[in-house]
């Protein structure tokens, strides 16, 4: 799964990378993006700008918004058949913007936080889906979920799932493609040699903690990727 990630970059860097415009006066970097927070995505509805959606998808038909706490991820292999996700993957897709994500490696009874990035792409997009839920008082709440897939070699050493990371050349195709079979052809994970990871401090375990030290190597020696 993907339960925590970082999106730390200057507004200008994000604009140049994703070809969008940002209000730099209100831009905020995030080192510890967590479920239930409002986070930066690019939706197929407004692909020219950043939108802030809550992480944890609430289907439009849901009776209780608490369901979103359980729907932070959607399996890419079966999302098109699941009631909670099939409408969104058909018509409401998004790019979840990131510079790296966290995963916890189990060593005995200990969980060691690792930070995973792409070597050649300091900023990247994960495939996401979103929905709009009508809350009491005519308030719309927009939420999203991150698609996951089988891990590549490096990720399989720490977890049995990984986020769907889109190559830059197919990011817009993901926003535009509604056919499930065509979508699956876009889900090609990066080779292990394109990724790197290192151990980070357990301070990341608390969603309330958010500062640059979280993504720096710490808590032990840098993890080997081979």
Active site residues: 2, 103
Cβ(97)–Cβ(18) below 8 Å: yes
DSSP summary character for residue 151: -
DSSP single-letter state for residue 69:
G
Strands 5-7 and 100-107: antiparallel
Alpha-carbon distance of 15 to 20, in angstroms, equals 5
Assigned token pair, 48? 């020219």
Locate 120 and state its tokens. 């050649």
Q: How far apart are CA 27 and CA 122, in angstroms?
A: 18
Write 150-154 long-range contacts (CB < 8 A, 24+): 150/189, 151/189, 152/189, 152/190, 152/191, 152/192, 152/195, 153/192, 154/116, 154/192, 154/195, 154/197, 154/225
């Amino acid at each position: 799964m993907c339960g925590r990630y970082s999106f730390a970059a200057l507004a200008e860097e994000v604009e140049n990378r994703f070809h969008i415009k940002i209000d730099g006066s209100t831009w905020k970097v995030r080192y510890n993006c967590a479920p239930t927070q409002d986070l930066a995505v690019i939706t197929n509805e407004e692909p020219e700008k950043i939108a802030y959606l809550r992480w944890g998808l609430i289907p439009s038909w849901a009776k209780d918004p608490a369901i979103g706490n359980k729907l932070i991820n959607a399996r890419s292999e079966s999302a098109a058949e699941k009631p909670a996700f099939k409408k969104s993957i058909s018509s409401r897709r998004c790019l979840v913007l990131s510079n790296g994500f966290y995963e916890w490696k189990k060593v005995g009874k200990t969980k060691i936080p690792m930070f995973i990035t792409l070597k050649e792409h300091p900023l990247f997009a994960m495939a996401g889906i979103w929905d709009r839920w009508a809350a009491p008082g005519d308030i719309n709440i927009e939420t999203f979920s991150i698609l996951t897939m089988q891990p590549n070699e490096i990720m399989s050493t720490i977890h049995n799932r990984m986020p769907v990371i889109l190559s830059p050349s197919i990011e817009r195709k993901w926003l535009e493609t509604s056919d499930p079979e065509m979508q699956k052809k876009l889900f090609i994970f990066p080779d292990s040699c394109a990724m790197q990871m290192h151990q980070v401090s357990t301070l990341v375990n608390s969603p309330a903690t958010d500062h640059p030290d979280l993504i720096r190597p710490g808590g032990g020696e840098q993890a080997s990727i081979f």
